[in-house]
């Protein structure tokens, strides 16, 4: 019997380079999607018997991409350019199931690392701005 779980195989992430969506190749994993939290606003006053709170605006947090570094890949080049520009870029994560997650983010870092008997790996930190919008691939 199928569990209903979604396999991560064939997940793709695209960055908008100008007006064109470009797939980021070499992806080995991602994390942080949906991991942000809202701020807590203290509304306690002198009539309160205990702390009183309200929930503020949602903060979608950060998304981290893990990848095999491919310096000639147009998607990875677009990541590097976005990091240097400091501008927000549009990203779309498409799961094998067809679910999509679209968001704007700044590329905070694009770290590379390597070692003996290893490929050069990359780790990309994206700071999400605004909401992550869930949809379905066309």
pLDDT per residue as tens digits for the range 44-74 = 999 999 999 999 999 999 999 999 999 999 9
pTM: 0.89
Q: How far is it, in rounded angstroms, from Cα 127 to Cα 124?
A: 10
pLDDT tens figures, 93-120: 999 889 999 999 999 999 999 999 999 9
How remote is the C-alpha of 25 from its chain's centroid? 15
Question: Nearest to residue 124, comparing CAs of 59, 8, 37, 31?
Answer: 31
- List pLDDT tens digits, range 8-53: 889 999 999 778 899 999 999 999 998 888 999 999 999 999 999 9
């Amino acid at each position: 019997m199928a569990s209903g779980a979604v396999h991560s195989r064939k997940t793709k992430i695209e960055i908008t380079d100008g007006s064109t969506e470009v797939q980021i190749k070499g992806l080995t994993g991602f994390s942080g999607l949906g991991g942000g939290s809202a701020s807590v606003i203290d509304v306690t006053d002198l009539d309160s018997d205990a702390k009183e709170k309200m929930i503020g605006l949602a903060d979608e947090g950060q998304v981290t991409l893990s990848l095999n570094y491919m310096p000639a890949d147009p998607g990875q080049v677009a990541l590097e350019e976005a990091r240097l520009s400091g501008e927000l870029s549009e990203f779309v994560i498409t799961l094998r199931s067809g679910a999509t997650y679209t968001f704007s983010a700044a590329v905070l870092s694009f770290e590379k690392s390597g070692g003996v008997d290893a490929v050069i790996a990359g780790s990309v930190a994206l700071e999400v701005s605004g909401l992550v919008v869930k949809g379905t691939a066309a």
